Amino acid sequence: MTQSPTLSLKDKVCIVTGAASGIGKGIATRYVADGAKVAIADINQDAADSAAKELSAQGPGEAIGIVMDVTSEEQVDTGVAKVAEKWGGIDVLVSNAGIQIVHPIENFPFADWKKMLAIHLDGAFLTTRACYRHMKETGGGSIILMGSVHSKEASPLKAPYVTAKHGLMGLSKVIAKEGAAHNIRSNVICPGFVKTPLVEKQIPEQAKDLGISEKEVVERIMLGNTVDKEFTTIEDIAEVAWMFAAFPTNALTGQSLVASHGWFMN
């Protein structure tokens, strides 16, 4: 019987965007714990540096902070090149940076619509393009885009978020098709609600927009359709991100995995 190889991220070079906080930081923590070299790429330089210091102290892998606004072509290309030069290539990209802005469509400011699409879609495209070039040179890699249950479902008040998260599914499938010849895989993670600063901010905003209490927002809007009224955790998503990063073949590409306590079922 052939033995399957043990999956590991030891010494793999990984870039996680938006990793100074929330889900991204959880993924970076999981990767460093498995021995990876992780660039914490975030618009907030101080928070990125402090997360990198904290993770390097934990080991056994190491982390560095890289300042990067994922909507800036120049900052993405420069930041990715810096990481590739330091560690000799890029093996894993997690395009995770994101924000949330909620309004009813009729009042959605156009500037906010454009800001949302820029962070979620331009950011995924630019970081993918920059990392893809390095991965192609060094024999392949794994690209992971942070989708959401909102890559498959809609909710009121979230027009640009739902639009962008659906769009990432298309981008990932194109990367999977173009990347196959170069051993570059692409997959999307689709979390349900995870208690991070992004979600904490939405609770009072949605309560105001919908005219209901904050408790109702949590119990009805956020967790109402789960099988057990539980939030998904940062650690749950970090584990899925580890699996997509470490999985070694094109058997797992062009896929999306929903981790949402059954809120959305395929």
Our answer to whether residue 161 is catalytic in this structure is: yes
Q: Which residue type does 103 have? A: H
Closest alpha carbon to 25 in 148, 196, 151, 163: 196
126 is an interface residue for ligand NAD by CB under 6 A? no
Q: How many residues bind ligand NAD (CB under 6 A)?
A: 28
- Selected binder of ligand NAD within 23, 38, 131, 223 (CB under 6 A): 23
Q: Which two tokens stand for residue 240?
A: 């899925």
Q: Which two tokens stand for residue 236?
A: 């749950």
180 is an interface residue for ligand NAD by CB under 6 A? no
Residue 4's Cα: distance from chain center in Å?
28
Q: How far is the CB of 11 from ligand NAD (least distance, A)?
A: 25
- How far apart, in whole angstroms, are the C-alpha atoms of residue 11 and residue 23? 22
Nearer to ligand NAD, 97 or 121 (CB): 97
Binding string to ligand NAD for residues 25 to 44, with x set by CB under 6 A, is what?
-----------------xxx
Q: Which two tokens stand for residue 26?
A: 């959880």
Where b means 16+ CB within 10 Å and e means fewer, 70-96 reads bbbeebbbebbeebbeebebbbbbbbb
Is the distance from CB of 37 to CB of 61 less than 8 angstroms? yes
Sign of CA dihedral 160, 262, 16, 246: negative
For the segment 199-218, give every residue that binds ligand NAD (CB under 6 A).
199
151 is an interface residue for ligand NAD by CB under 6 A? no
Nearer to ligand NAD, 42 or 91 (CB): 42
Nearer to ligand NAD, 180 or 198 (CB): 198
- Selected binder of ligand NAD within 142, 187, 196, 206 (CB under 6 A): 196
69 is an interface residue for ligand NAD by CB under 6 A? yes
Q: How far is the CB of 214 from ligand NAD (least distance, A)?
A: 16
For the segment 97-116, give every residue that binds ligand NAD (CB under 6 A).
97-99
- How far apart, in whole angstroms, are the C-alpha atoms of residue 157 and residue 162? 9
For the segment 45-64, give every residue that binds ligand NAD (CB under 6 A).
none
Nearer to ligand NAD, 18 or 141 (CB): 18
Q: Which two tokens stand for residue 163?
A: 């639009």
Please, is 170 exposed, middle or buried when counting C-beta atoms within 10 Å of its C-beta (0-12, 13-18, 19+)? exposed
Maximum C-alpha span of the chain = 62
21 is an interface residue for ligand NAD by CB under 6 A? yes
Catalytic residue selected from 87, 132, 161, 264 = 161
List of residues contacting ligand NAD (CB under 6 A): 17-18, 20-24, 42-44, 68-71, 96-99, 119, 146, 148, 191, 193-194, 196-199
Give the active site residues.
161
